[in-house]
A = this chain, B = another copy of it.
């Protein structure tokens, strides 16, 4: 499986509004999403950014389908406009426990 991790550092004064709720609702609309967790930072350390999305897929091609999905596109526009910096890492993880033989 592939874990797609994205961290967002918002511009000063940017309010993401319902962006996170809409991101959390994506699994209902994008079948390639095996799981998705998203939320605002609650620690506030020096190196902390503002929000994270962690989404799991069966394969790397599914990440592209997710990125280009019409339900996702408007949310990319919002975060793209509101972010000072966005960083991502896509890495391999073992199958989810419910998928293991």
Instruction: Give the B-binding residues of A (Cβ under 8 A).
Output: 2-3, 5, 7, 9, 37-43, 45, 47-52, 54, 60, 63, 86-94, 97-98
User: What residues on B are CB-neighbors of A50 within 8 Å?
Assistant: 89
22 interchain pairs (CB within 8 A)?
Answer: A2-B42, A3-B37, A3-B52, A3-B54, A5-B52, A9-B87, A37-B91, A37-B94, A39-B92, A40-B91, A42-B60, A43-B63, A43-B89, A43-B90, A45-B90, A47-B87, A47-B88, A48-B90, A50-B89, A51-B91, A54-B54, A87-B87
Of all chain B residues, the one with the shortest Cβ separation from A92 is B39
The quantity of this chain's copies bound in the complex is 2
User: Contact at A91–B49, with CB atoms within 8 Å?
Assistant: no
